[in-house]
Every structure is written in C-alpha cells, then in structure tokens.
Structure 1
Amino acid sequence: MTVVPASLPEPQGTRPGLRLTFRLLLAVDVQGYSRRTPGLQVAAQLDLLDAMERAAEAAGLDRDSWSQQVTGDGVLAVLPDDADIVLVVGRFAPALEDALAALAETAAPERRVRVRLALHHGAMIIGWPAVLGPAGHAPVVVSRLVDARPVRRYLDVHPERNVALIVSDQIFRDVVDSGLCALPPAHFSQVRTVIKGIRYAGYLYEPGWL
C-alpha cells in the first residue's frame, strides 16, 4: 500500500496538472478512539491494521495496491482503477466484521475495536499536485459519510456489532441494487445527514433488518 507522505517535492521539469480520476474509496474510523488511553490508542491502531489485512485477504483483495491516507483513528484508502467494486462492497465489510470479532475473542474488553466503514465511488485528483491526499468531491463525501451521526448511532444501538457500514447513493444504486452484490438490498436503509451545512445521503447496512 502507499501511504501519503508528510511532504512531497515538486517534480523537476514538470508543470502541475489537474486530472480527474474515478476510483473506489474506502474510509474507516475507530469508534471512541479519543476516549482511549495512549496505550489503548496504539493497540487500536495495531488491531485495525491487523483486521484490515485479514479482511482484505479473506475477500481476495490486494491491500498493497491501495493508496491510503492515515490518521491516528482511521484510514482513507483509494483503491486501484481495476478494483472489482462488487467484490469490495460485498465481501470486505463482512470480512472486517469477522476479523474484528476474532481479535475481540482474545483481547481485554477495553481493547475491543469497533469501526465505522464508508464506501463511495467518484471523481478525485490523486498524485501531484494533490500532495496531502486525494482532492475532490469524492473523498469529501466518503469522509462525511463515515462520520455521519446515524452511523455512529448504529454502533451505540447494536453493541454486538463491530462494523457499521454505510455506502453512498451511487454505490447502492449501481452495485448493491444490481443484484450482483453479496449484500442484499433489503438489508439497507436510506439515511440523511447534514454536516457543515451540506446534506449527504447514503444507505446504512443493517444485517437481518427487513
């Protein structure tokens, strides 16, 4: 995987160019990260990385091909242009749920990691001159969705779950509702939220909900 560097020198002999690229984005945030002690924050980072590696392997995905922007409590990942969107949407979230559950079985209760996961596909600028990470509407949308109040509330209402998944309108229409995805459309409910004065809509995955 590629981690966005803290600084990036301007390529010699080139002029900055802006080119929109359509990619699948994935955002993950650890629930309740700021309430952890520093030691437990480090543990959460290690456990999340481990769980994402396990989930990617179980879903048949190559995480080494992902470009990611990391924060202490989460990851914003841009998947390669040949990523199988149906595969990622249908398999990664359930695999991440299983991986986090497996880690929780052997960990102390206070070390348990629960996450919010958002998926979106859209246009962005990646690479030079976007030196601090992907720029554009798509990374903003996926970042807002993963932080949406209904997604946070889902984990509060469902203590048995380790992953709260939300997908964008586009992902739901084009992927989930296609009938090709492993996640049934009937297990999603539309949610809307307003963040910083802008309205966002997505579909929250609720296993077993009909």
Structure 2
Amino acid sequence: MVTHDYRVLLTADIENCGGRTDAQQRTLQSGLISTIETAADRVQLDHGAWERQVGGDSLTVHLPAEPGPFVTIPLLLDQFLTELDVAIAAHNSRRSDPTWARMRMRLAVHVGPLQLDGAAGWPGQHAVQPARLRDSAPIRTALDTFRDADLALIVSREVFRDYVSQGPGRPRPSEFLEVAVAEKKQEYTAYLYVPHFDVHDMEIPESQPSSDTPSSPPRSIGSIKNRVKRGDILFAQGDINVAREPKGKKK
C-alpha cells in the first residue's frame, strides 16, 4: 500500500555552477550547503532532521512533519530567507579565496503529499514540481534581470494560496509576481520574489505552446499574470486586484 505524508519541500540550485572551474565548483557546492545550514541554524530550524537529495550544485530536502507547514512555511519565507540572503552575501564577500566564485541561488518552496518510501528517492508529482519551478524560465529571468541580486525565490500555487496570501508575515503577497511555468510538458502557476527588488518590473519573453496541448492557445512560459499594488490585495474566486507598480529597486 502506497502511503503519502504531507510535507514541505525546499530545493536550491546555484546559477551557472557548471560554467566554473573544478575548484570553483567544489567551493560553490560547499557554499550551497553551508549557507543553507547557517540560515537554518539562525532561525532554529533543525536541518539535521531534513531528508536530503543532493545533486552536485543542487539540494532538495523535505522537512519533518512537525511542527507542521503552518509554522514551517512562514518561517522559511520570512526569517530563513532573510538569513539565507545574508549568508550568501557573506560567502560572496570572500574574494581573497583563490577558488572564490560568486554564488547566486535559485530557491523553490512547495508543499503537498509526498511518497517517502520510493526505491530511488521520492516518487510522485509533488516531489518533481519544486525542481521544475526552481529551474524554470521565470526565475532564471529574474536573476538575469536583477544582476545585483544573489537570491531568487519561487513558490508553488499551493504555498502562495494557503500560506502567503493568508498572512501576516513577510514577504507580503503584493511583493510576489504570479507567473506561468511550462517545464517538460507540465504547466504550473507559481509566484516569484526577489529580495530587495521589484519583480513587477521584469520583462519575461513569450514561449511557444506546449507540444502536448496543440489545440490550446499560446501561453507564455513566464507570462505576467498580474501586477499587484503594494499593500493589501483582494481575492475573489482566485483573482487578485491589480495595478501597475513604478519601476526600480525597492527602497
């Protein structure tokens, strides 16, 4: 009998790690683990209890069932994200290291029923989705757009709907940009955030429609679904009141 556990999933990947020297890749791999563990320690998240899958320049974990998503997700998106941004900046300041290379990280957070007893990992759509979001065009475009940013976050529709939009906490819902992700014949709605920058200023290129849905109208890989005015937002049957934000880095 297949059993599922409702878990929070976190996955991170380093931008352009494969384009660095062997020595730099080794340093970046170490930096990926150390910055995440440092941030977890600073907000009292027990990373020793995380179940991990490591893939060179990427790390995917599912967090323990306790204390539960309603505690864990706000902590991840608020305090942990802040501390991770600080830890990455500290790593990037060590330019005297002969194997130094700037680290820029793509981070994704998802939540859902997970099969924990697979023969070679965690099978199922909820295990796959966060990696697809992490590697998607919108979050890559975010780091391409905001070259001074060290970190970009993308969260699934479930995380945004059930946790971010319910507040309180940071980031506020209006600081996220809703995007459409198309990866490997799968399409997802997700929400993008870059600390210190206004993601509503992004220009995301159009893509061709998915090959598995030829009859559907063209859809952007990273289409801007809404531009949300800062402050409170109103939900009505899944819709959001929208308004255009001025361009520029957030103060």
Q: What is the TM-score normalised by the length of structure 2? A: 0.73
**Greater per-residue helix proportion:** 1
Answer yes or no: is 1:97 the counterpart of 2:85.
Answer: yes
CA distance in 2, matches of 1:141, 1:192: 13
| Higher RCO structure (Cα 8 Å, ≥6 apart) | 1
1:180: how far off?
A: 2.5
Q: Any gaps of 5 or more consecutive residues in structure 2?
A: 199-229, 231-251
Could you tell me which residue of structure 2 aligns to residue 200 of structure 1? 188
Say whether the 8 Å CA contact 1:123–1:137 is kept in structure 2: no
1:36 CA drift (Å): 1.0
- Whether 2:48 is the aligned partner of 1:64: answer yes
SS of 1:53's equivalent in the other structure is helix
CA contact (8 A) 1:118 1:166 kept: yes
Tell me which structure has the larger Cα radius of gyration. Answer: 2
Partner SS state of residue 107, structure 1: coil
Match of 1:122 in 2: 112
Q: Is the 8 A contact 2:149 2:194 kept in 1?
A: no
Instruction: Return the offset for 1:85.
Output: 2.2
Matched, 1:111 2:101: yes
Residue identity in the other structure for 1:116: R
Offset of residue 64 of structure 1: 0.4
**Distance in 2 between residues matched to 1:133 and 1:90, nearest whole Å:** 29
- List per-residue Cα deviations over 1:155-209 (Å, max 9, x = no partner): 1111111111000011011111111332111110101121112111100013452
SS of residue paired to 1:175: helix
8 Å contact from structure 1 (residues 47, 103) kept in 2: yes
Amino acid in structure 2 at the alignment position of 1:194 = A
Separation (CA, whole Å) in 2 of partners of 1:187 and 1:152:
18
Q: Secondary structure at the match of 2:9?
A: strand
Query: C-alpha root-mean-square deviation of aligned residues, in Å?
Result: 1.5
- Check the 8 A contact 1:29/1:73 in 2, yes or no: yes
8 Å CA contact 1:190–1:201 kept in 2: the answer is yes
Query: 1: CA distance between counterparts of 2:79 and 2:120?
Result: 29
Contact preservation (8 Å) 1:189, 1:206? no
The match for 1:31 among 8, 11, 15 is 15
Q: Is the 8 A contact 2:109 2:156 kept in 1?
A: yes
Post-superposition offset of 1:22: 0.8
Task: Give the SS at the match of 2:93.
Answer: helix
The one-letter code matched in structure 2 to 1:30 is I
> Closer, same or farther in 2 for the Cα pair 1:181/1:137, shift >3 Å?
farther
Partner deviation per Cα, 1:82-130 (whole Å, 9 max, x = no partner): 1422212222222111100011112359511111000000011103xx1
- Give the structure with the higher percent strand: 1
Counterpart in the other structure of 2:219:
none
For the 8 Å contact 2:94–2:100, the answer to whether it is kept is no
Q: Secondary structure at the match of 1:126?
A: coil
Choose the corresponding residue for 2:61, options 72, 77, 97: 77
Residue 35 of structure 2 corresponds to which residue in structure 1? Answer: 51
How many residue pairs match? The answer is 192
Dislocated runs of 4+, deviation >3 Å? none
Alignment partners' CA distance in 1, 2:77 and 2:162? 11
User: Taking every aligned residue pair, what percent have the same amino acid on both sides?
Assistant: 33
Distance 1:103 1:73 in 2: 15
Q: Provide the C-alpha distance between the structure 1 equivalents of 2:52 and 2:59, rounded to a whole number of angstroms.
A: 7
The residue type equivalent to 1:81 in the other structure is A
TM-score by length of 1: 0.86
| Secondary structure in 1 matching 2:147 | coil
Q: Contact 1:97 / 1:163 at 8 angstroms: preserved in 2?
A: yes
Given that 1:66 and 1:79 are in contact with CA atoms closer than 8 Å, whether structure 2 keeps it comes out as yes
Distance 2:164 2:14 in 1: 24
